[in-house]
Amino acid sequence: MTQNTKQMILFKAISHKKVIADFNGGDVSSDAGLLFLKESESKNGIISRIANVLHDQRHPGYVKHDLEQLLRQRSYQIASGYEDANDSDELRHDPIMKIVCEKTDTSLASQPTMCRFENAFSRKDLFRIAQAFVDTFISSYKKPPKGIILDLDDTADPTHGNQQLSFFNAFHDSYCFMPMHIYEGKSGKLITTILRTGKRPSGKEIVMILKRIVKRIRESWPDVGIIVRADSHYACPEVFDYCDEHNLKFVLGLTGRAPMIKKAKNTTDKAKELYFDKKKLVKIFTEFNYRAKSWSCERRVICKAEYNDKGPNTRFIVTNLENNNRRMIYETIYCGRGAMELMIKEHKSHLRSDKTSCSSFKANQFRLFLHSIAYVLLHAFRERCLRNTQFAKARFDTIRLKILKLGARVIFISTKIKVHLPTSCPYQEELYRIWQACVT
């Protein structure tokens, strides 16, 4: 086959009729569902918010694509499954992509332009972008909430080249980054993402990130209650002290140490005894005060003593909550952080945010932000526009497959743009309801 659009492709005959294909279909796109996503984004405003904090160092006389248009193009590409900047070379001519980027008169940016775009920003720009994510999170609420949960976690992002600050992580047995993801635990809204070296975060580093986020939130919501929730990697004395000093509650996992195991021995022995008596899983909760050498004071530690057919399963958490219901604190509040694994999965697996293959660490941080924009777009779209449809709890990859990947023929005329969706589309009524939710 050649690039000649008049070239025909002949397939096997069906019912004695020839099946002929060619490339003369005109302006056709496979991503017409992005029109719904754009309507939702116009209410969210995250792309404009981030574009406004960026400093454009390019000479105005040579600029064909402004920063907001580049942000839109890259973010919508990621949302619709084109995570590589190389995809820009083909998608720059896509009619739907041009519509959602609000540039129908000329082609969009190519891969070399996107590469320069990703490598253009300073540390100050990246800091302002991180703040813009927090501001977008705050503005997503119509009124201040009574309380929020800050879920913190990191995830391995393997590297395969000479990326700056790529460290070897023995636990993951690879060179990698360990980006920190921060979400609101009840709603799943993304607060920000920070690219990090491939090592466990120190207490000082965690506090440095936390204090900037908390300050920004408290400036808008001075009376909001905040719970910090994370696994044992974040159970550091600096975090405990910071939370106490700034009226924050925390529920953090804690690695079992010999003194803690000794204090919980009576409870674990009782759980074992009950298991062999009843022949079914047993969970008993206890608590005690504990102080490690590096801690400034004693802390409340809750122990879950579980025994099952595989043996003992003892877990510890540390908290400054005063509620007496140990089971509720452990099973409802602490174990609720399991939903964050799904949030990270959507960010990392469905949006491919591990595509951090640039040489520069700053460029890779900016790439992570681009994928985070796509997360915010899709999460807000699902929360606001899909709530009364069968896709109200759909994963991002399902939303992409069923809604965004919608074939359409686009006709540009002098007074309007016509988008002809498939007559055989199986979700016509659902798409109409989605459109109504997007525009109201």
Q: What is the pLDDT of residue 1?
A: 40
Residue 372 near residue 347 (C-beta atoms within 8 A): yes
Q: What is the pLDDT of residue 52?
A: 95
The verdict on 135 and 219 lying in the same domain is yes
Residue ranges of the chain whose pLDDT lies below 50? 1-2
User: Does residue 39 belong to any structural domain of this protein?
Assistant: yes
User: Does residue 13 belong to any structural domain of this protein?
Assistant: no
The verdict on 128 and 240 lying in the same domain is yes
The verdict on 97 and 180 lying in the same domain is no
The verdict on 108 and 203 lying in the same domain is no
Q: What is the pLDDT of residue 22?
A: 85
Q: What is the pLDDT of residue 269?
A: 95
Quote the Cα angle for 90-93-98, to 5°: 125
Q: Which of 298, 327, 350 is the last residue of a domain?
A: 350
Could you give the number of structural domains in the chain? 2
User: Does residue 243 belong to any structural domain of this protein?
Assistant: yes
The verdict on 31 and 136 lying in the same domain is no
Of 399, 366, 402, 363, nearest to 381 by C-alpha is 399
Give the range of the structural domain holding residue 234, as residue numbers without chain letter: 123-350
Q: What is the pLDDT of residue 286?
A: 96
Q: Which of 331, 350, 369 is the last residue of a domain?
A: 350
Q: What is the pLDDT of residue 5?
A: 54
Radius of gyration of the chain (CA): 26
Residue 431 near residue 438 (C-beta atoms within 8 A): no
User: Does residue 415 belong to any structural domain of this protein?
Assistant: yes
Q: Which amino acid is at 81?
A: G
Q: What is the pLDDT of residue 278?
A: 87
The verdict on 110 and 151 lying in the same domain is no
Q: What is the pLDDT of residue 2?
A: 45
Instruction: Say if strands 225-230 and 249-254 run parallel, antiparallel, or are unpaired.
Output: parallel
- pLDDT, tens digit (0-9, with 9 covering 90-100), for 253-284: 999 999 999 999 999 999 999 999 988 999 99
The verdict on 83 and 182 lying in the same domain is no
Q: Which amino acid is at 27?
A: D
User: Does residue 361 belong to any structural domain of this protein?
Assistant: no
- Roughly how many angstroms between the first and final C-alpha of the chain, as a whole number? 48
Q: What is the pLDDT of residue 8?
A: 86
User: Does residue 366 belong to any structural domain of this protein?
Assistant: no
In whole angstroms, what is the distance from residue 350 CA to residue 333 CA?
27
- Can you give the CATH number for the domain in which 235 is found? 3.90.350
The verdict on 113 and 148 lying in the same domain is no
The verdict on 256 and 114 lying in the same domain is no
The verdict on 98 and 137 lying in the same domain is no
Of 333, 330, 353, nearest to 343 by C-alpha is 353
The verdict on 116 and 147 lying in the same domain is no
- pLDDT, tens digit (0-9, with 9 covering 90-100), for 12-48: 999 989 999 988 888 899 999 999 999 999 988 999 9
- pLDDT, tens digit (0-9, with 9 covering 90-100), for 203-212: 999 999 999 9
User: Does residue 369 belong to any structural domain of this protein?
Assistant: no
The verdict on 81 and 166 lying in the same domain is no
User: Does residue 201 belong to any structural domain of this protein?
Assistant: yes
